[in-house]
Amino acid sequence: MKKRKAQVAIIALLISALVMTVGLTLSRKTTIETRLDTNEEALRDAFNAAESGIDYYLKTGTTAYTVPDLSAKADVSVKNLGGEATLNFGEYTPEGGSEFYWLTNRNSDGSLGTSYYSGNQITVAHGGMNGSLAINIFYRSGSGFGVRRWGYNFSSDSNRQVSGFTAATGAQNVTITSLPSSPVLMTVTPIFTGANLSITGNNNFPAQGEEISSLGKVGEVNTTQANKKVVIQRRYKLPTFWLDALVAEGNIE
């Protein structure tokens, strides 16, 4: 009888130990899941703070933003977009759309400046396309503006060629050397298909706008902190009258 009672006691202890082990495991899992949920919420708050920081900068020009009634803030940094010998905005330009590249600077009030691109050539790359490119360079001409045009066919398919364009079958890029003086703006339009466009010069291009980075932070310094970064590009706008000029013939005076 005593032996049987001892066996029962041992079994009871084993069952209790097993229950305690399972209980601790479930408790640990619950704690981890709660912490993960908290982190996700903190990351969401950090992302919202980063977006709000950008909006706040665009409205006020201030680069430091604190979220009211929340331990979250955003640090905003701004740098010029462009100012290098290669311009690649990482955007896909659809068929019939146009990518714009400024060849002169902007004044502080947003008006066109007179510091023009000083290189003597520009290479336009399309990243591989089976179609054509229409290229326009607008330039100052006296008190008005003129436009010089180029066109290239990269496809061997006659149905994907524009009459009068220069043949460039299979080429990945073309180089324009006969640039007009006082160039203001280059537009590149893919035809028959879209393209990943970029341009490279033998000198730096003017700034194309600004890149705004906002780092949202939740939590105190020296403690667990959630960060989220948002980056946007704000490029200079195209004057409306140039949109009509894209399909105009000859010079614009």
Which pLDDT score is estimated for 27?
46
Q: How many Å apart are CA 190 and CA 154, to the nearest integer?
A: 11
> Which CATH number is associated with domain 84-205?
2.60.120
Which pLDDT score is estimated for 194?
96
Determine the distance from the C-alpha atom of residue 27 to the mean position of all C-alpha atoms in its chain, rounded to a whole number.
44
Are the C-beta atoms of residues 123 and 174 closer than 8 Å to each other?
A: yes
> How is the chain split into domains, by residue range?
2-76+211-234, 84-205
Most confident of 71-75, 187-191, 225-229: 187-191
Are the C-beta atoms of residues 253 and 141 closer than 8 Å to each other?
A: yes
Beta strands in the chain (DSSP E): 64-66, 72-82, 86-87, 92-93, 99-102, 104-106, 112-116, 122-125, 132-141, 144-153, 166-167, 173-176, 183-191, 195-196, 198-201, 207-218, 226-235
DSSP state of 110: S
**Bridge partner list, 198:** 125
Residue 24: band (very low, low, confident or very high) from pLDDT cuts 50, 70, 90: very low
Are the C-beta atoms of residues 249 and 233 closer than 8 Å to each other?
A: no
Residue 144: band (very low, low, confident or very high) from pLDDT cuts 50, 70, 90: confident
Residue 162: which of 188, 191, 136, 189 has the closest Cα?
191
Q: How many Å apart are CA 30 and CA 96, to the nearest integer?
A: 55
Q: How many Å apart are CA 80 and CA 70, to the nearest integer?
A: 31
Q: How many Å apart are CA 186 and CA 242, to the nearest integer?
A: 11
Q: How many Å apart are CA 43 and CA 216, to the nearest integer?
A: 9
Mean pLDDT of the chain: 82
pLDDT digits (tens, 9 = 90+) for 72-129: 889 999 998 889 999 999 889 999 999 999 999 988 888 889 999 999 999 999 999 9
Give phi and psi for 162, each to the nearest 5. Answer: -105, 130
Which pLDDT score is estimated for 26?
44
**Pick from 62-66, 90-94, 164-168: least confident:** 62-66
Average pLDDT over residues 228-232: 90
Average pLDDT over residues 172-197: 95
First vs last C-alpha separation in the chain: 115
Residue 87: which of 173, 197, 193 has the closest Cα?
197
